[in-house]
């Protein structure tokens, strides 16, 4: 178990299932009281330790889909887990070795022989259908890994993966990226277009002027299409549209609005057009309807943790306290639920770990400095 905070600021040595050793998690850093960042670090380390013990397959350098079974995780949970590892690396560089091993292990999901190479949903020999949204998540988390480590492998793979994601765009229904390569379900979804735009804007930060301009234009085009096609009257976003019938799935999932909010902030960062910032604020305010009366987002953590991330990103830009309070309310309740009963699936555990690291970031010198740099346009 992770030692209680009143025992010592220096962590007891703890060996995880990987042979990974954690120690001295605080490093003497002074943390802001507003979010009790040291406590969120402690909780995040606790969840990460649980994941490493129950989900890590050290023979393949990959994670399992469930703690009770041997099957490997699908790509979507894998991406969430990678984002949790990136968060952990900000506080203990020993996680970097696990992240590198995992990055290499994920090559087993990569179909390099496809016309436009990309990740398949499972470890494979290639040739199967692929999800554009699964790949978009990988773009975003790899770029965060590059921001943190400056390891060129992460940005190279992010750029290759983004090329695949963007290849899903065509002019049917005036544009938009398909959900599947094989057009399974016949839909174009917010859950792929929104993170694709965020990925374009994050890569633009590290690109030369000409390429940067192209990426920002690409993001603006995707955002414009999604606003026109899938935005609801309350300012949030519908799930998807079937191209052939034009039937719209009106469901409003937290992660759809979360990534559109982040895309608007990214466009504001790159263009300084305040309309994007104003719109991001509107989405943040409208997102109150995605929560129950107690302030807890109604969706499972695999979706709602991304709304927590959007709340914290918007808080960095606006300093509106309701955003920090809303994020804190959700993360505290989710952790409490986790302590009462541990989920069996990787994505739920990884989602909690990710949002705990983000709450630690919101009140620590380490986290605040990282995001100050990450939010800059270049």
* All structural domains of the chain with their residue ranges: 14-374
* 14 pLDDT higher than 60: no
* 213 pLDDT higher than 90: yes
| pLDDT confidence tier of residue 212, bands split at 50, 70 and 90 | very high
| pLDDT confidence tier of residue 201, bands split at 50, 70 and 90 | very high
SS3 readout for the chain: CCCCCCCCCCCCCEECCCCCEECCCCCCCCECCCCCHHHHHHHHHHHHHHHHHHHEECCCCEEECECCCCCECCHHHHHHHHHHHHHHHCCCCCHHHHHHHHHHHHHHHEECCCCCCEECCCCCCCCCCCEHHHHHHHHHHHHHHHHHHCCHHHHHHHHHHHHHHHCCECCHHHCCEECECCCHHHEEEHHHHHHHHHHHHHHHCCCCHHHHHHHHHHHHHHHHHHHHHHECCCCCECCEEECCCCCEECCCCHHHHHHHHHHHHHHHHHHCCHHHHHHHHHHHHHHHHHECCCCCECCCHHHHHHHHHHHHHHHHHHCCHHHHHHHHHHHHHHHHHHHHCCCCEHHHHHHHHHHHHHHHHCCEHHHHHHHHHHCCCC
Average pLDDT over residues 21-47: 64
Mean of per-residue pLDDT scores for the chain: 92
Average pLDDT over residues 41-70: 97
Average pLDDT over residues 206-217: 96
Average pLDDT over residues 312-341: 98
Average pLDDT over residues 63-71: 97
pLDDT at residue 31 in the model: 35
Q: pLDDT, tens digit, for every residue of 133-180?
A: 999 999 999 999 999 999 999 999 999 999 999 999 999 999 999 999
Average pLDDT over residues 346-364: 97
Contacts of 122 (CB under 8 A, 6+ apart): 72, 74, 75, 109, 128
Task: Kindly report the CATH class assigned to 14-374.
Answer: mainly alpha
Average pLDDT over residues 291-297: 95
Spatial distance between the Cα atoms of 25 and 374, rounded to a whole number of angstroms:
23
Is the pTM value of this prediction over 0.85?
Answer: yes
Q: What percent of the chain has pLDDT over 70?
A: 91
* 204 pLDDT higher than 60: yes
pLDDT at residue 1 in the model: 36
* 11 pLDDT higher than 50: no
Owner of token pair 């790949």: 135
* 30 pLDDT higher than 70: no
Q: Would strands 14-15 and 248-249 be described as parallel, antiparallel, or unpaired?
A: unpaired
pLDDT at residue 35 in the model: 54
| pLDDT confidence tier of residue 12, bands split at 50, 70 and 90 | very low
pLDDT at residue 326 in the model: 98
| pLDDT confidence tier of residue 21, bands split at 50, 70 and 90 | very low
Average pLDDT over residues 324-343: 98
| pLDDT confidence tier of residue 125, bands split at 50, 70 and 90 | confident
pLDDT at residue 2 in the model: 35
Spatial distance between the Cα atoms of 86 and 79, rounded to a whole number of angstroms:
11
Average pLDDT over residues 127-136: 96
């Amino acid at each position: 178990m992770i030692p209680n905070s009143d025992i010592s600021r220096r962590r007891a040595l703890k060996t995880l299932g990987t042979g990974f050793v954690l120690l001295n998690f605080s490093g003497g850093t002074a943390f802001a009281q507003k979010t009790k960042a040291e406590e969120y670090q402690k909780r995040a380390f606790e969840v990460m330790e649980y994941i490493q013990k129950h989900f890590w397959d050290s023979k393949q350098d990959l994670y399992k889909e469930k703690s009770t079974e041997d099957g490997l995780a699908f790509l979507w949970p894998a991406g969430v887990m990678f984002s949790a590892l990136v968060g952990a690396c900000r506080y203990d560089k020993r996680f970097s070795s696990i992240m590198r091993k995992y990055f290499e292990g994920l090559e087993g999901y990569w179909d390099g022989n496809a016309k436009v190479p990309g990740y398949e949903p499972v470890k494979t020999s290639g040739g199967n259908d692929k999800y554009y949204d699964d790949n978009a998540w990988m773009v975003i988390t790899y770029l965060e890994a590059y921001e943190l480590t400056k390891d060129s492998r992460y940005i190279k793979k992010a750029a290759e993966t983004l090329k695949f994601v963007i290849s899903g765009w065509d002019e049917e229904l005036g544009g938009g990226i398909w959900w599947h390569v094989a057009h399974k379900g016949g839909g174009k979804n917010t859950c792929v277009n929104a993170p694709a735009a965020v990925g374009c804007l994050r890569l633009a930060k590290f690109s030369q002027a000409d390429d940067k301009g192209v990426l920002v234009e690409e993001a603006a085009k995707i955002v414009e299409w999604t606003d026109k096609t899938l935005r609801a009257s309350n300012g949030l976003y519908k799930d998807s549209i079937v191209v052939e019938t034009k039937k719209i799935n009106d469901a409003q999932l937290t992660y759809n609005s979360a990534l559109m909010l982040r895309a608007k902030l990214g466009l504001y960062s790159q263009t300084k057009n305040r309309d994007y910032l104003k719109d991001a604020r509107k989405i943040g305010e409208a997102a109150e309807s995605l929560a129950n009366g107690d302030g807890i987002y109604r969706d499972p953590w695999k979706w709602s943790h991304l709304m927590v991330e959007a709340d914290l990103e918007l808080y960095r830009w606006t300093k509106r306290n309701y955003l920090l309070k809303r994020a804190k309310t959700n993360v505290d309740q989710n952790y409490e639920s986790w302590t009462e009963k541990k989920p069996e699936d990787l994505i739920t555990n990884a989602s909690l770990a990710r949002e705990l690291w983000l709450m630690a970031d919101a009140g620590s010198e380490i986290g605040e400095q990282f995001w100050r740099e990450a939010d800059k346009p270049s």
